Structure 1
Amino acid sequence: MRDIVILHENEEWLKPLYQAFEERGVTPKSWFLDEGVVPFHNQPDDAVYYNRMSASSHTRGHRFAPELTKLALTWLESQNRTVVNGSQVLALEICKLSQYAALQRSGLAVPRTFAAVGKAQLIEAAKQFNDWPLIVKPNRGGKGLGVQKFDDVDELTAYTEGDEYEEPLDGTWLVQQYIKAKSPCITRAEFVGQKFVYAVQVNTEQGFELCPADACEIAEKFKVTTRFNDHPIIRQLETFLRSNDIDVAGIEFIENSQGELFVYDVNTNTNYNQDAEQRADVERTGMGALADYLIALAG
């Protein structure tokens, strides 16, 4: 069996995956990407390379980890190595507007969105948007960081002029339609090998930071649901993944009061909540399905 190499910048998030590999008698290799060298003219080992780079790496002091990962993936792909979630997938991970364009191409509904760079332009975009309340979020964030709801332009202006204002990492704000949910939750559907594993409902009553990783310590916000198992959106999302060569992802969508579904986030470095899995006694855990998929590729 070939080696399995995990490209990442957060060891804490990998512990459940390492455990799943250990249960299967396999030891993967770790390629920590924060600073480093990409030997472009050398031959990389013939292995399975799994990209788990996160858009939120800058929040852990790894500002240029995605850029370094893009270089590494470009090298691996140029040598025809087996790459799971390659460079084009990373490009989607760090740009929500690119996600929306790809989702729309696959026939999926996304929230109405404007993009703006600059404080004054953010205010102007919100005025042009003219649909209050609205959501303002960084184009490149991660973990739901920086997502805020504003009820009017005065409230948004006060934020941009206050001490809590912080520029997005890439300078780009998204001004987005606020979708009033049918119930105070969103749904996150998990896919491995471009196939549906399970979905969870995530309670949003306490805010938008919805990272499912056990390391994020969010108590019982996550509940496995079978409601969407046979829903057409699951097949649509699988088609979207195939069209964009995305192997592994957690995709979030919200249902409005009319029952319409809007997809608003594609997480290609997806995590899983083990407490929710245990409470539901799921047949296939997320990390177990992921380990099995990577082992099959390496076999």
Structure 2
Amino acid sequence: MREIVVLHENEEWLVPLREELKKRGVKATEWFLNEGRVPYTELPEDSVYYNRMSASSHTRGHRYAPELTKLVLTWLESKNRTVVNGSHVLALEICKLSQYAALERAGLRVPKTHAVVGSGELLAAAKAFNQWPLILKPNRGGKGLGVQRFGTLDEFAKFLEHESLDEPLDGTWLLQEYIQPKAPHITRAEFVGQNFVYAVQVNTQGGFELCPADNCAIEDKFTITKRFNDHEIIRNLESFLRSNDIDVAGVEFIENQQGELFVYDVNTNTNYNQAAEQRAAVKNTGMGALAEYLIDLAE
């Protein structure tokens, strides 16, 4: 059996995966990526490399972790190593417009969105966008941080006049139509090995910060649902994952008042809420499915 190597920048998120691998008698090597070197002309070990890099790494002080990971993944792929969620997937993780373009190619509906570089351009961009209410969010925020809703142009203008905005990490803002949900929740579908595991409803009444990881989740905010188990959107999302070589992902979508489904976020560094899994007594947990997938590849 080959070694499993997990590329990451957040040790806390590895705890449940470590436990699931341990149950199966396996211990992975954990490669923390924030600063370091990439020996491109050397041959890497013939292992299974799982990319767990996150677009929110900068919120933990790891500013250049995605850039370093991109170099590492390029090295591994150039030497024909087995990589789970490779360099193309990392590119999708850090660019919402790239996600939307790929989703639309797969026939999935996404919210109306404009990208803006430079805070001084936001007011004119909002006038041109002319979708109210609208959502303002950074392209690279993470965990729903920095996402705000505005009801009118006047409200938005007053906010820009009186508030000091911190520029997003990559300088890119997104203006997005606010989709009035049919019910106060979004749905997050989890996939491992490009196959559907389960869907979870996430209550949005408390705001836009929807991190499912156990160390940042709010109790009872996450509820596993069977509503979409046989729904067309799951088949379409599996096709989308296959078309883009995405092995592991949590994909978030919302249902509007007319029953239309809009996909708005692809999380290629996905976490699972163990409390929700326990309440639903699911047999196939997210981390359990992930551990078995990595072991199968290693064998």
Q: What TM-score do the two structures reach when normalised by structure 2? A: 0.99
Q: Read off the aligned partner of 2:110 and give its amino acid letter.
A: V
Q: Please give the alpha-carbon distance, in whole angstroms, between the structure 2 residues aligned to 1:29 and 1:233.
A: 35
How many residue pairs end up in the alignment? 299
CA distance in 2, matches of 1:242, 1:160: 41
Aligned residue type for 1:107 = G
User: Are the structure 2 counterparts of residues 74 and 16 from structure 1 closer, same or farther at C-alpha, using a change threshold of 3 Å?
Assistant: same
Shift of 1:124: 1.2
Cα distance in 2, alignment partners of residues 154 and 206 from structure 1: 25
Long gaps (5+) in structure 2: none
1:15: Cα distance to partner?
0.2
Tell me, what secondary structure is at the counterpart of 2:182?
Answer: coil
Task: State whether residues 159 and 165 of structure 1, in contact with CA within 8 Å, keep that contact through their aligned partners in structure 2.
Answer: no
Partner residue, 2:79: 79
Deviations 1:134-175, CA, capped at 9 Å, x for gaps: 011111111111111011223222333334521111111110
Counterparts of residues 126-145 of structure 1 (less than 5 Å): 126-145=126-145
- Paired residues for 1:203-282 under 5 Å: 203-282=203-282
Aligned counterpart, 2:19: 19
One-letter identity of the residue aligned with 1:76? L
Give the whole-Å Cα distance in 1 for the aligned partners of 2:138 and 2:157: 16
Percent of matched pairs sharing the same residue: 73
User: After superposition, what is the alpha-carbon deviation per residue over 1:103-151, rounded to whole angstroms, capped at 9, x for unaligned?
Assistant: 0000000000111111231111110111111011111111111111011
Other structure's SS at 1:5 match: strand
Q: Does 1:168 align with 2:183?
A: no
Equivalence map 1:80-159=2 (5 Å): 80-159=80-159
Q: One-letter code of the match for 2:64?
A: F
Separation (CA, whole Å) in 2 of partners of 1:283 and 1:199: 14
Letter paired with 2:69: T
Tell me, in whole angstroms, the C-alpha distance in 2 between the residues paired with 1:173 and 1:160. 13
Residue in 2 aligned with 1:184? 184
Whole-angstrom distance in 2 between the partners of 1:162 and 1:251: 35
Q: Look up the SS of the partner of 1:215 in the other structure.
A: coil
Structure 1 segments, 4+ long, off by >6 Å, are: none
CA distance in 2, matches of 1:62, 1:161: 31
C-alpha contact (below 8 Å) 2:119/2:165 kept by paired residues: no
TM-score of the superposed pair, with normalisation by structure 1? 0.99
Q: C-alpha deviations, 1:228-274, integer Å up to 9, x for none?
A: 00000000000000000000000000000100000000000000000
* Matched-pair contact (CA < 8 Å) for 2:133–2:149: yes
Match of 1:34 in 2: 34
Cα RMSD (Å) of the superposition?
0.8
The one-letter amino acid paired with 2:212 is P
Is the Cα–Cα contact under 8 Å of residues 214 and 274 in structure 2 kept in the other structure?
yes
Counterpart CA distance in 2 for 1:241 and 1:160 is 38
> Secondary structure of the residue that 1:241 maps to in structure 2?
helix
SS at match of 1:45: coil
Residue of structure 2 equivalent to 1:63: 63
Contact 1:185 1:203 survives alignment (8 Å): yes
- Structure 2 distance, partners of 1:192, 1:11, is 21
Secondary structure class of the residue paired with 2:63: coil
